[in-house]
Each structure stands twice: as C-alpha cells, then as structure tokens.
Amino acid sequence: MITYDKLFIGGTWTDPSTLRPLDIRSPHDGSVVGRAAQARPTDVDRAVAVARAAFDEGTWPNTPPAERIAVLRRLNALREARAEEIAALITAENGSALWFTRAGRHGLSRQAEAYLKAAEDMAWEEVLTPTDPASGVRSIVRRVPVGVVAAVIPWNSPFSSALAKLLPALLAGNTVILKVSPENSLSMGLLAELLAGCGLPEGTVSVLPADRETSEYLVTRPEVDKIAFTGSTRAGRRIASLAGERLKRVSLELGGKSAAVFLPDADLEAFKTGLPFSSLLNNGEACVAHTRVLAPRGRYEEVVTAVKEVVESLKVGDPRDPGTFIGPMIRRDQQQRVRDYITLGIEEGARLVTGGPRVPAGLEQGYYVTPTVFADVDNGMRIAQEEIFGPVLTVIAYEDEDDAVRIANDSEYGLSGGVWSTDEKRALRVARRLRTGTVTVNGAAIGYDGPFGGFKASGVGREFGFAGLHTYIEYQTVTV
C-alpha cells in the first residue's frame, strides 16, 4: 500500500498540520489502496508564503526561457519513464479503465511537446517597429509571468489536468500551488516526486491534496495573482465570482454537453468504431464526451440500433483488467447521481434502449453504473441539457442540416462536439457552425497544438500550445 504522509510544499516534503491521513479507496471494491496527508488552511498559508517569496525574491521568474524549457523537458522525461506506474495508480484510485490511463501516456507527451515548442517559439522580448520613426521613440514588449498561480484541478483526469496548468505556468516563469482532489492523492504524490527531481528552484511548486473548503481558502488568498481552474460549471461560477471581487486573473475550463452530429451520408461502421472513444471515454466521466448523438430522421432507428450494439458490446468491470472498457464511478455519490439521471430520463418519457438504473450484476461492491442509451429524446429534456458525467447517451432526431446545427447549439455549454460525414467539405461546413471550442471530424483526436477550451458556460480562456502559454503571461511595454 502506498503512503504519502507528508505534503509537498515549495519543493520540500513537509509534515502536515494534521497527522490524520486520508484512506484512498478503490472505486472497484472499496479496498484501501493508499493513504495520504491532506492539506488544511494552515498548510495553504505555508505554500502561499513560499510561492510568494520564490516569485518576488527567487530566481525562477528571471531564469532565461531556454533554461526553464530544459527543466520542463526533464520533468516530461521523468514522467515518461514512470508512465506505467502512473497509469496503474490512476486506475487504482479513480477507477479509470487501464486502457484509458495507459493511452494517456501518449496524450501527455503530445501536450508537453506542444507547450515546449510554444515556449521555444515565443518572442519573450521584442522591439516593435515604430509607426513614427521620426519621433525617436521605440517600444520594447516583454512577456512576463503573472506571479503566483493557484491551479485547482478535478479528479477525473488528474495528470492531464495538472500538466495542462503546471507546464505553461512554469514555462512562463510563475510559481504554482497545485490543489488536487483528495481522490487523486496517490498519483499527485507521484507527480510531486517528479517535480522534486527535475531541477526546479526551492519554493517554485507545491502540490496540495485538499477538500473544497480548503480550495476556496486558497483562491481567496491576497498573495495569489492568478487562478487556473478545471471543474464543474457550478464551481467555476463560484471561482469566477471570488476572482472578480479581488480582480484576480482567472481561467476556467468547465463542463460540457457535447453533440455528435451524424450526417445522412456518414459511414455507420466508422461511427460505431469511434463512438466508444468520443462518447464513453473514462467511464463517461469526461467533460469532452459527446453524450448527445444527433441522427437524421431517415436513418434514426439505424443509428439507435448501432449505438445500442456498441454500448452493449463494451465490457464493464474491474478497471485493472486490460479487457475492461468501462469501470466504476469514482464515488458512491457520483454513482447515485448518474443512476438518478437515468431514472429521470425514464420519467421524462425518453425510450430506454439499453441499460437502466440497476447496478450491473456481480459488481455491487463497487460504484458501477450500467451503460445506458435513451432514444426519442427531446433536446429540452434534462438528460439532454445537463451534464451527467457518466456512461449515459441520448439519441436525438433532427430534420435537416440547419435543424442539426440548431439542436447542437441549443445548450448552455460549448466545450466540444463532433461531425460524422464521408464528405469532408460538408463536415467542415457544419463544424464551422457549431458554437464549441473544439470540434472533431470523424472521430479525430483533439490536437494539443491548438487552443482547448469552451464557449458559453464551458469556460473562459484556453489551454494547450501557444494559446495556453499566453494564459500565464502578462505584457509589459517599455518605451525608450
């Protein structure tokens, strides 16, 4: 059993203010897989103090960009060397299927390389060509770090969420306090080990597992200059409110209720192959999951049958089994939440095609949900409008292309979406009409060099690549 009985504060493993560690339990069977110290406000105060001192008086903000890039390259190499261990830990604590946590290794590498390239290409200081040469005045534009960053991440994909914030924040020269969910105390403890070994100066990074109340305490500290948050839209609104009161910089990556638009000419077999990875990845606990399937009237029942066949073919069970596609929900309350939505869908009058609120037979000890598909769904139903965060799909009929776009955009969210078609020009035409931050065509993977984030209630700001790096930069203009 893995134990982290100390907190990683400013690069040093430190005794926590409370010596009662939290038992980290497997969502599969409830067994204890590890124990870890949890941060309290007193620990936050220490982390904030060392981060503030490291930024104001330390070396990292003024370290040449090339040297910062080299340090973060070492971090990425250390992570890749322990990729299998990381995958196993996240599977143990989260219940994420092993296929998903192993596949994450490649995504994390691409994410890191995109950030590193953006930092290499960045003009950290440049002299602008004067618009009036005769004035004798020239402007020097500097890209400088924001300051102390409080990065608050969710439990569903911890390494991806952590590095999406740590890498650009550190490349830009900021100091960071990473607040992680208690459920991820083990994998994030391993991340702290990697951070300790990559060559960051003292005080630059802290990693604090903590509850929501401690998170709120962190983001309201006056020494914090910027908040970077990933989580639910409800929590994001609260974070934005707290940041607004204090005029703190803030970026938010929030929820989604994304639509997969199946156009009349789409290849059904290709759609069936891609559906599990676009709509049911990570047990359905993914903000980018395409949980609304929009199908044309003329092929509606064909699509419903295809979705049913795919969902029923996926193995549900022990996430450590390489053959498992869908594991348990992370906690009992999350399991009950998803089951309640399934019951709500039946009460709203949707047709239950497969699944239902029952727990899969033989898996009663864990937090399992039977993967569920609803048909005859009206887009105004709550199961079509609200983020369920579980393996529940709705199939919605549309009349024509304009109707499909209208339904897809009829949501408070705007994070992701997909278009399926054998005609690329047509697919791109539809994709350009969707009000979402990312759109995938025929199941293409999201690219890490392009910006990632959402429209509307799906967030503020962008992550990944050049745009993500800019999120952690302030501009200073010096005129001479």
475: which 2 tokens? 């501009």
Q: Where are the domains of the chain?
A: 2-254+458-479, 259-447
Tokens describing residue 221: 């500290």
H helices present in 122-232, as ranges: 158-171, 185-197, 212-219
**The predicted structure's pLDDT at residue 409:** 98
Question: Looking at the annotation, which residues are catalytic?
Answer: 253, 287
DSSP 380-415: TSHHHHS---SSEEEEEEESSHHHHHHHHH-SSEES
Largest Cα–Cα separation, the chain: 81
- pLDDT of 135 reads 82
Cα–Cα distance for residue pair 26/312, rounded to 1 Å:
25
Q: What is the dihedral of CA 88, 92, 95, 100, to 10 degrees?
A: 0
pLDDT for 129 equals 87
Q: Structure pTM?
A: 0.96
Fold of the domain spanning 2-254+458-479: Aldehyde Dehydrogenase; Chain A, domain 1 (3.40.605)
- Residue 427, H or E segment: helix 424-431
Mean pLDDT by 10 residues, the chain (480 residues): 96 94 97 97 98 98 98 98 97 97 93 97 93 86 98 96 98 98 97 98 98 96 98 95 95 97 98 98 97 98 98 98 97 98 98 97 97 98 98 98 98 98 98 98 94 97 96 96
pLDDT at 134: 82
Burial class, 378, CB count within 10 angstroms (exposed 0-12 / middle 13-18 / buried 19+): middle
**pLDDT for the residue 130:** 85
| 259-447 matches 2-254+458-479 in CATH topology | no
**CATH: 3.40.50.300, 3.40.309.10, 3.40.50.20, 2.40.30.160. Which one for 259-447?**
3.40.309.10
